[in-house]
Structure formats: structure tokens, C-alpha cells
Amino acid sequence: MPARLKIIGNYISPYVRKVLVCLELKGLDYEIDPIAPFVGNDQFSRLSPLRRIPVLIDDGFVLNDSSVICQYLEDRHPTPALYPADIADRAQARWLEEYCDTRLADGLIWRLFYQLGARRHIFGEATDEAVVKQAREVEIPAALDYLETRLPEDGFLFGLLSIADISIASFFRTASFVRYAIDETRWPRCAALVALVQALPVFQKLARLEECMLRLPLAEQRAALNMRGAPLSIDTYGTSTPRHGSPREL
């Protein structure tokens, strides 16, 4: 019998990873159609009108946007809690999740990863080195400067693991695929938090699936994931030909 929950989205995406971590920690049964948004077919466009991943399908109920999906999973399956119990802390956790999804992602994903990863390897286009330079020297340091002021010296942000910790670690995991690492001498708190979260069993489990497909063409990734036991859906919303869209599809 097929899993009730389906995720559409590639393991490499930080937005998809955030949702998968929530599903795994809550012990929910799910299946995944691990497509990149660049190869989504027309039916995918109907499910995701912005052509972004992830998409959640729960018994025919469709949700878009990783933050909306994670909050939905928390409301439907509140144990273990991934949002702080304290109202003020919960609001701060949501703010930091939003900061990651937008400001941090602007440098790490929509500039750095897209230029060095997606643009080069999916579309075979030259990297815009000016965009990469701006990301490395201006955008990412500015985001890290802010985060460094918000993080504790050690441990998770709010005592227990929360969506804020998961979000921060998810984005730096994807950035590592294009060889970006936090300078721990300049941003020690950021580096320590990311290392702590990425060492968790759930992140390590997903990392093994990410690494098996990381350097493969899109057309070969599904077979590699199947060999590693990923919970793949029978059907797919993917096509064989990538097409341009917004970098924010990632």
C-alpha cells in the first residue's frame, strides 16, 4: 500500500532537506519523487504554480513551501515537537527559519550554489564569476554576521533541537556541495551549530542518499537512489529535459 505522504523534490535542495528531517524525526511514513524543479512536467506546474520544491501531497491535499509544510507536519504530528513551547522562542525560531529561507539562501543557494552547481552541471552554462564573488565576499558574510549574534556558544538555539537549527544546517549542507565551508575562526558559533546539527543521525542518514546521487546526471539519480533504498514513489512528475526557470525553484 503506498505511503500516505508524498514529497516531490530533490534531496540536494535545502528546502526539501528541511521537510525530510521533520518527517524522519517525527517517524512518519513517506515516499519521495526526487526531481529537481527544472525537470518538472506540466502536472508538476499545476501542483506547484511557482515551480518550486518541495511539494507535499497528503491523501490528495497539496501543500507548497517548505515552511508551510513543516508547520503543517508539526500541527498534525506534534510529537516530538520541533518548534519551541515558549511563545516568544517559537516566534524567534520561525523568524530564523524565514531568515534562512530568504536572506541566507540569497547568497548560499540562489547565487553560489546555482552558479557553481545547477547552472554549470544541469544547463552546461558558464558560471557568472561576478555573482559568485559577490556571494562569497558580501552576501554570505553579511548573513553569517547576523546569525553569529543570535546563536548560543554551544548547543541548540532553544535548548532542544528546533526548526531554526534544522534550517540553518540544511542550507550550509547544500552549500558544501560547491565547497563552501564556514570560517570557524570568524564565525565560531555558526560553525559549531552547523557541525552539531549535521552530525545528528537524521542528517547523516539523508547525507548518504545525497552523496550517492550528487555528481550524477539528473537522468541517473533516481536509479542510484533506488539502489540505496530511498523510499521512492512509483510515479514521477519529472521529464528528461531541463528547462530554465527562477533560481529560487531550488
Q: DSSP letter string over the chain?
A: ---SEEEES-TT-HHHHHHHHHHHHTT--EEEE---GGGB-HHHHHH-TT--S-EEEETTEEEESHHHHHHHHHHH--SS--S-SSHHHHHHHHHHHHHIIIIIHHHIIIIIIIIIIIHHHTS-----HHHHHHIIIIIHHHHHHHHHHHS-SSS-TBSB--HHHHHHHHHHHHHHTTT----TTTSHHHHHHHHHHHTSHHHHHHHHHHHHHTTS-HHHHHHHHHHTT--B-SS--B-SS-----GGG-
Residue 86, CA distances (Å) to 83, 92, 149, 205 in order: 9, 10, 21, 30
pLDDT tens figures, 209-241: 999 998 888 889 999 999 999 999 999 998 866
> Mean pLDDT across the stretch 192-201?
98
Calculate what percentage of the chain has a pLDDT beyond 70. Answer: 94
pLDDT tens figures, 112-166: 998 887 777 667 788 899 999 999 999 999 999 999 999 999 999 999 999 999 9
What is the four-CA torsion angle of 133, 136, 142, 148, rounded to 10 degrees? -170
Give the predicted TM-score (pTM) of the model. 0.94
pLDDT at 243: 62
Whether pLDDT at 242 is above 90: no
pLDDT at 250: 60
Whether pLDDT at 32 is above 90: yes
> Mean pLDDT across the stretch 93-98?
98
107 or 127: which leads in pLDDT: 107
Q: What is the band of 91 on the pLDDT scale with cuts at 50, 70, 90?
A: very high
pLDDT at 106: 95
pLDDT tens figures, 72-84: 999 999 999 999 9
When the pLDDT of each residue in the chain is averaged and rounded to a whole number, the result is 92
Q: What is the band of 1 on the pLDDT scale with cuts at 50, 70, 90?
A: very low
pLDDT at 241: 67
Whether pLDDT at 244 is above 70: no
Q: Which of 224, 243, 176, 201 is nearest to 34 (CA)?
A: 224
pLDDT at 240: 67
Calculate what percentage of the chain has a pLDDT beyond 90. Answer: 82
